[in-house]
């Protein structure tokens, strides 16, 4: 490949066609090629965002449980401010 970079492949196009279109460089390392789909990348990002939201909610719940346990019979002032700092 004479010009490494990101190339868009059209629907129905084969790897052979891509290699031919890019110049058939005999020094090209074809095993280093990476093929991705934008739709797959977007779905993976949505999944990661959902996991992050779920973990953040679980963390907030656990922090609340810990603070409630520690605060029984004590002033909640310092611990409440700690929770607010962790939430920020």
Residue written as token pair 């490494």 = 4
Distance, in Å, from the CA atom of 51 to the CA atom of 15, rounded to the nearest integer, reads 34
pTM of the model: 0.48
How far is C-alpha 5 from the geometric centre of its chain's CA atoms? 22
pLDDT at residue 49, rounded to an integer: 97
Distance, in Å, from the CA atom of 77 to the CA atom of 82, rounded to the nearest integer, reads 9
Distance, in Å, from the CA atom of 84 to the CA atom of 76, rounded to the nearest integer, reads 12
pLDDT at residue 76, rounded to an integer: 53
pLDDT at residue 68, rounded to an integer: 80
* Radius of gyration (C-alpha) of the chain in whole angstroms: 26
pLDDT at residue 75, rounded to an integer: 55
pLDDT at residue 1, rounded to an integer: 47
Domain boundaries, the chain: 1-35, 41-87
Consecutive sets of 10 residues in the chain, 88 residues long: mean pLDDT of each?
A: 71 79 70 81 95 95 84 60 70
Pick from 50, 36, 47, 83: nearest CA to 64: 83
């Amino acid at each position: 490949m004479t010009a490494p970079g990101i190339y868009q492949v059209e629907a129905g196009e084969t790897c052979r066609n891509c290699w031919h279109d890019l110049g058939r460089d005999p020094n090209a390392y074809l095993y280093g090629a990476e093929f991705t789909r934008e739709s797959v990348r977007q779905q993976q990002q949505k999944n990661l965002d959902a996991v992050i939201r779920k973990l953040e909610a679980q963390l907030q719940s656990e922090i609340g449980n810990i603070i409630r346990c520690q605060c029984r019979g004590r002033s909640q002032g310092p611990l409440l401010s700690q929770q607010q700092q962790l939430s920020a």
